[in-house]
Structure 1
Amino acid sequence: MSDNMIRAAFRGQAGDLRIDMDFTMPGMGVTALFGASGSGKTTILRAMAGLAPMQGMLRVGDTVWQDSDRGIFKAPHERPIGYVFQEASLFPHLSVEGNIRYGEKRSLKKGKVPPVFGDIAAMMQIEHLMDRAPKHLSGGERQRVAVARALMRGPELLLMDEPLSALDRRGRDSVLACLEALHRELKIPMLYVSHDSGEVARLADHMVIIDAGRKQAEGATATLFAQLDFTPPDGRAEAGAILRATVRDQDRESRTTHVSVGEQTLTMPQIEGAAGTAVTLRIKARDVALALKKPEAISIRNILEGRISEIRDSADTGHVDILVDIGGGVLRSQITHEACRELALEPGVNVYALVKSMSFDRPGA
């Protein structure tokens, strides 16, 4: 295994749930542990933290934190982790600064040089909150403080257990924006537990899908979201694809923004962001039509050249699922069997993908 990878394998019983998991995550960026409620996500996270001992193995880079076969088990306080729970769990008797400094003291006790306090506070956008008591903070502010406290421990791995689940939309957006900044600026690997496909699409580079205590799939987030046999466990997201794009320019007169995906350009309703800003686009399969020739005199603005990479019947919907490689990303389209047959579509055929609409996630990494 590469020395910048993290390998986790656990097996055992957690209440009525049988855990049998073995996965690998990159030693940089954000990995989502993604599954429905009750699938075992938190159990795996607690096992990695050493808080709920379970038979198995955990290797972080070249360091073994646990190997049951060899009798190795580092206690929770010996594992250089930061843990952010669903609830912020701040110390009520300490100010915001006191809570964050607590994490710093834990780092110093281990002989480590903690991160720069001011840098972490700025990244989490909490510099103005230092004198406040936790009870006077909003939900989003409490979670940003909790993340800052975890970071001040100087962790080698950051574990986050659905940190947005108890927040309203405004709080969720504020924390997500800070996590994106953390993703860009720090090199700490994060394992992010969630059952929300929108969060995962926006934040994670890599994902591990879990169901009933077992791994169902793992790989790059954009790749898995485009897989024809993948259904998000939150049950809310429709089939579609994720595209990583870059702002090219702004058209203030028409109130549109042009973004680049590989060598091609998409036009979308105006968003904030200077040229070069990275954005994430989610495009539903039902909003992508296909044509063999480039249409003319049509209201759809986004027409992308591509080549069909895969076709599969969708028994549940009665449609055909088609993946189209557009260079720099893959689109997914759902069309009828009749349309597929009349157009003689098959892998390798060049097509034009007509994108009728898309959703946008704010600038990210």
Structure 2
Amino acid sequence: MIKINNKYEKFKYRVNDLNNNNISAKFSFRNPNFYFDIELNIPVSGITAVFGQSGAGKTTLLRCIAGLEKIAGGQLKFGEQQWQSADQFLPVHQRPIGYVFQESALFEHLNVLENLNYGRKRAHSGVNQEEFERIVELMGISQLLSNNAALLSGGEKQRVAIARALMMKPEILLMDEPLASLDRKRKQEVMEYLENLHRELSIPILYVSHSVEEVTRLATYIVVLERGKIVKHGDIKRVLSDHILQDMMADEPFTLLFGQVISACNEYCLTEVKIDGHTIYMPRQNVSDEQLIRLHLNARDISITLQKPQQTSVLNVFECQVIEIGDATGNGQCMVRLSLNNTELLAKISDYSRVILNLRPAQKVFAQIKAVSVVQ
């Protein structure tokens, strides 16, 4: 995990406190190939993911909010600020936003410091040296300042691009698939910095992505789009409890768990996480004690038994209650929703197993989860 020096602990980055306000947007247009019809109210706090497959309208929505697209009759309000109405359109340079594109869009003939200064000069209220150093440290680019932008790796370029956007001192950061062009290792690297950025600066982020992994790791709120319309939006945990929606989002059904680290590394090199009063063991993670983390658990990695095993290599065995049993699919499998206190788990088993176990709603069962199958 990336550690941040606490000498800036009292430093406040945000220009205005907008946590209790919303973005209210209404846009509609039609062309021969696409019908875009959006009306939503989302919080200006945390990380809001705009999720959807290619062609869903994610980038169009982001460009409308940024002011890069002007749709006739559109309505847009940011907190108490009216950005667009029937007789008003605030140009993009007057909106307090930072924009990060899929490609870094750095000036490759300049070095990193010169790229950052370009953003710094455009800050509405100015960025002092302390603020500058804070942003540089948060994005881990202090050793890159004299490097030519053209010679940076893909992950480094995106970190510099994010830092440059922050230098403009925005009240909201708009990110359009910022990790799409990176390989898996670089994505993981940049996601760690994004998590730190959210924790340390509390700047609201509107994050466009078609990656379930990015959304489940980063987002606190989600807007799901399909063919230019909103399918659903709300708190990430509530939205992802809709398993029909999950089928649209991911190839494999999964459960997203929210927990707190009890031990980052116990004597057996396992990380222990408290989930709703229960302890889950998983391979050692790059986390710290008491840290709040999320766990991704694929439905296929949960097995069900009627009696608690007395001797088993499976470390995670929990008493649950069956909530619902789905119909068998064409490949002979079915989904079982389980209740673990106030937490729901989703298990994928064969329909034959369902018959053998004679599973039924309200039945007490035990869910078994291998430690190696739990993913942060």
TM-score of the superposed pair, with normalisation by structure 2 = 0.86
Secondary structure of the residue that 1:354 maps to in structure 2? strand
CA distance in 2, matches of 1:64, 1:344: 59
CA distance in 2, matches of 1:317, 1:215: 31
Question: Which residue of structure 2 aligns with residue 247 of structure 1?
Answer: 261
Question: Which residue of structure 2 aligns with residue 297 of structure 1?
Answer: 311
Matched, 1:130 2:137: no
Distance change >3 Å, CA 187–CA 15, structure 1 → 2: farther
Question: Which residue of structure 2 aligns with residue 181 of structure 1?
Answer: 196
Q: CA deviation at 1:234?
A: 6.2
Q: Which moved further from structure 2: 152-161 or 292-301? A: 292-301
CA distance in 2, matches of 1:330, 1:101: 48
Tell me if structure 1 keeps the 8 A contact 2:332–2:352. no
Question: Which residue of structure 1 aligns with residue 336 of structure 2?
Answer: 322
Tell me if structure 2 keeps the 8 A contact 1:320–1:335. yes
Question: Which residue of structure 2 aligns with residue 37 of structure 1?
Answer: 54
Secondary structure of the residue that 1:166 maps to in structure 2? coil
Give identity over the alignment, percent. Answer: 38
Matched, 1:142 2:157: yes
Tell me if structure 2 keeps the 8 A contact 1:308–1:346. yes
Structure 2, unpaired ranges of 5+: 1-18
CA distance in 1, matches of 2:33, 2:276: 47
Structure 1, unpaired ranges of 5+: none
Q: CA deviation at 1:93?
A: 3.3
Secondary structure of the residue that 2:146 maps to in structure 1? coil
Question: Which residue of structure 1 aligns with residue 84 of structure 2?
Answer: 66
Query: Per-residue CA shift, 1:47-73, capped at 9, x if unaligned?
Result: 1111011242222222221223xx232
Tell me if structure 1 keeps the 8 A contact 2:97–2:171. yes
Q: CA deviation at 1:15?
A: 6.7
Q: Which moved further from structure 2: 89-98 or 146-155? A: 89-98
Aligned partner letter, 2:53:
A
Question: Which residue of structure 2 aligns with residue 5 of structure 1?
Answer: 22
Distance change >3 Å, CA 272–CA 92, structure 1 → 2: closer
CA distance in 1, matches of 2:344, 2:200: 27
Question: Which residue of structure 1 aligns with residue 225 of structure 2?
Answer: 210
Distance change >3 Å, CA 63–CA 300, structure 1 → 2: same
Q: CA deviation at 1:43?
A: 0.9
Tell me if structure 2 keeps the 8 A contact 1:226–1:331. no
Aligned partner letter, 1:67:
S
Question: Which residue of structure 2 aligns with residue 93 of structure 1?
Answer: 109
Aligned CA RMSD, in angstroms, stands at 2.4
Equivalences, count = 355
Question: Which residue of structure 2 aligns with residue 353 of structure 1?
Answer: 367
Distance change >3 Å, CA 251–CA 202, structure 1 → 2: closer
Distance change >3 Å, CA 219–CA 340, structure 1 → 2: farther
Query: Per-residue CA shift, 1:177-206, capped at 9, x if unaligned?
Result: 110101111222111111111111111111
Tell me if structure 1 keeps the 8 A contact 2:323–2:337. yes
Matched, 1:117 2:95: no
CA distance in 1, matches of 2:265, 2:107: 48
Query: Per-residue CA shift, 1:225-250, capped at 9, x if unaligned?
Result: 33220236565x41011112222125
Matched, 1:260 2:274: yes
Secondary structure of the residue that 2:45 maps to in structure 1? coil
Question: Which residue of structure 2 aligns with residue 27 of structure 1?
Answer: 44
Q: CA deviation at 1:314?
A: 5.5
Distance change >3 Å, CA 232–CA 139, structure 1 → 2: farther
Question: Which residue of structure 2 aligns with residue 198 of structure 1?
Answer: 213
